[in-house]
Amino acid sequence: MQEQFTEHINKGYTFKGNSFLLGSAMLNGEVITDAKISVPLKTLNRHGLISGATGTGKTKTLQVISESLSDAGVPVLLMDIKGDLSGLAAASPGHPKIDERCKLLGIDFKPTTFPVELLSISDEPGTRMRATVTEFGPVLLAKVLDLNSTQESILAMLFKYCDDNKLPLLDLKDLQKTLQWAANEGKEELKEEYGSISTASVGTIMRKVIALQQQGADNIFGEASFEVDDLMRLSDDGRGMINILRVTDIQDKPKMFSTFMLQLLAELYATLPEEGDLDQPKLVLFIDEAHLIFDDANDVLVDQLETIVKLIRSKAVGIFFVTQNPTDIAPAVLSQLGMKVQHALRAFTAKDRKAIKLTAENYPLSDYYDTEQVITQLGIGEALITLLNEKGIPTPLAATMLCAPRSRMDILTDKEIDALVDKSPLIDKYNQVIDRKSAYEILTEKLETAEEETPKRKTRREKEEKSVLEKIGNHSVTKSIMRTAGNMIVRSLLGALGVSTTTRRRKKKYF
């Protein structure tokens, strides 16, 4: 049976193109050294999933795959939520358990340091990643803010106005000022050119922008905008750069995290050319704690993410979601993931058992494993694996003992992190604070100028009115009209008193 199993595995995991070793298959708890589990580089743009309970080795699996990709000249972007991936920048100190594992797998262990770039969208040390509000665009921003169709049309109108009038929307301060202006002084101007807007709708958009700000989104929006080409650099020795985005301080801010992820994916899709199926991907992203994207995401946001996941593979970009349970991922997205690495799940409750049964049904049937049972019996650093071969066909399910990382399985010290950041060639390019003249300053100047000119216009109008009255008053015709009017008023008053001016004049004539 073991020989048949070995032949079965080797047939399913032997590829024509470049591949890298992930581990060796196991049968009945025993490692079969000759049954190697490899991953073809060609199919990594079909995306993947790494899941399992806490402490089962998901992060180390992510680390091993990242090391192999870097060796193959493929750049990597890691979302480091827990802050435990910086050790990739240092070589492993070694350990007796690592030696024991390598002996079982029949491989040599070589501690290695990998080229690492630390990135940040918060206050963590690293190269800052930002994007302008304009780069987000009204459609994506509306989805992030969960706007209805009316509010979305208003936002699109304001973006159009700013484009037409050369008002750069760089950060949220610019967007807020534009919303304030549109609800007050600019309402009539917008109505003439673009149509009327509802003040209540503008107020709703403003409140949602403020809510996004409360999660720290000001750190994401602004200049200098991060260029995606800088994610695809190679080191001097030709290895792919491992870009580690340290987001340990936004675990409780899922809206900020999902906002950034969608913008980054949209930017990658918009910027990169169509590549089709290359021999290896141009970039692979790993999103650790991926449930943070979906926990607070509305249906529109999930639809947007699903669309990008479907389309971005044609740009030679692969996306791996790392989470505790496959059910954390929206089904529409989960169905797009070609490679699956399933670490152990624990059946402590009836709900857990139900989740395990559902998870097992997502994997190919096997003559060698009871998948539902094996999932609960896997040890640390062991996983069920299936992926797509070069023809897009799923490979046989294999319980696998995984290789150990060659880099440090621990974090860098603060001193080591500072040294790594200081030598980065990207720091000078992106960490300078830029606040050039944009919509906020331009609209503020416009309003201040209008306020200054209002009393001047009023004084000038009063002078003009006085001058006109003086000219009219000095005219001979005007004087004649005034005398006639005066006489008529006097006669009316005397008549009301019972006095006749004609009778009095007659009496004076006869006497």
Domain residues for the domain of 367 are: 2-130+223-403+410-430
Q: Is pLDDT larger for residue 446 or for residue 1?
A: 1
pLDDT of residue 458: 52
> Do residue 115 and residue 261 come from a single domain?
yes
> Do residue 62 and residue 186 come from a single domain?
no
pLDDT of residue 506: 43
Q: Is pLDDT larger for residue 262 or for residue 44?
A: 44
> Do residue 24 and residue 122 come from a single domain?
yes
> Do residue 369 and residue 233 come from a single domain?
yes
Long-range pairs for 158-162 at CB < 8 Å and ≥24 separation?
158/182, 159/134, 160/194, 161/190, 161/193, 161/194, 162/134, 162/439
Q: Judge whether residue 508 has pLDDT over 80.
A: no
Give the residue carrying structure tokens 């006749």.
500
Alpha carbons 199 and 179: distance in angstroms, whole number: 10
Q: Judge whether residue 208 has pLDDT over 80.
A: yes
Choose the weakest-confidence range: 291-305, 412-426, 475-489: 475-489
pLDDT of residue 241: 96
* In a domain? residue 268: yes
Task: Encode pLDDT of 121-163 as tens digits.
Answer: 877 889 988 888 888 888 888 888 888 889 999 999 999 999 9
> Do residue 394 and residue 288 come from a single domain?
yes
pLDDT band at 267 (very low <50, low <70, confident <90, very high): confident
Q: Judge whether residue 502 has pLDDT over 50.
A: no
The count of other CB atoms within 10 Å of the CB of residue 487 is 11
> Do residue 204 and residue 240 come from a single domain?
no
Give the residue carrying structure tokens 């930002």.
130
pLDDT of residue 29: 87
Quote the mean pLDDT of the chain.
Answer: 84
* In a domain? residue 94: yes
* In a domain? residue 391: yes
Q: Is pLDDT larger for residue 77 or for residue 303?
A: 77
**190-208 b/e (C-beta count within 10 Å ≥ 16 → b):** beeebeebeeebbebbbeb
> Do residue 12 and residue 126 come from a single domain?
yes
> Do residue 240 and residue 343 come from a single domain?
yes
> Do residue 190 and residue 267 come from a single domain?
no
pLDDT of residue 451: 61
CATH number reported for the structural domain that contains residue 254 in this entry: 3.40.50.300
The total of structural domains in the chain comes to 3
> Do residue 74 and residue 15 come from a single domain?
yes
> Do residue 212 and residue 235 come from a single domain?
no
* In a domain? residue 324: yes
For 392-461, give the DSSP string. SPBPPPEEEEEPPPSB-SSPPPHHHHHHHHHT-TTHHHHSS-B--S-HHHHHHHHHHHHHHHHHHHHHHH
| Mean pLDDT on 239-264 | 80
Amino acid at 511: F
* In a domain? residue 468: no
pLDDT of residue 24: 96
Q: What is the pTM of this model?
A: 0.81
Q: Is pLDDT larger for residue 411 or for residue 498?
A: 411
* In a domain? residue 470: no
| Mean pLDDT on 316-327 | 90
Alpha carbons 24 and 409: distance in angstroms, whole number: 21
pLDDT of residue 32: 94
* In a domain? residue 506: yes
> Do residue 172 and residue 233 come from a single domain?
no
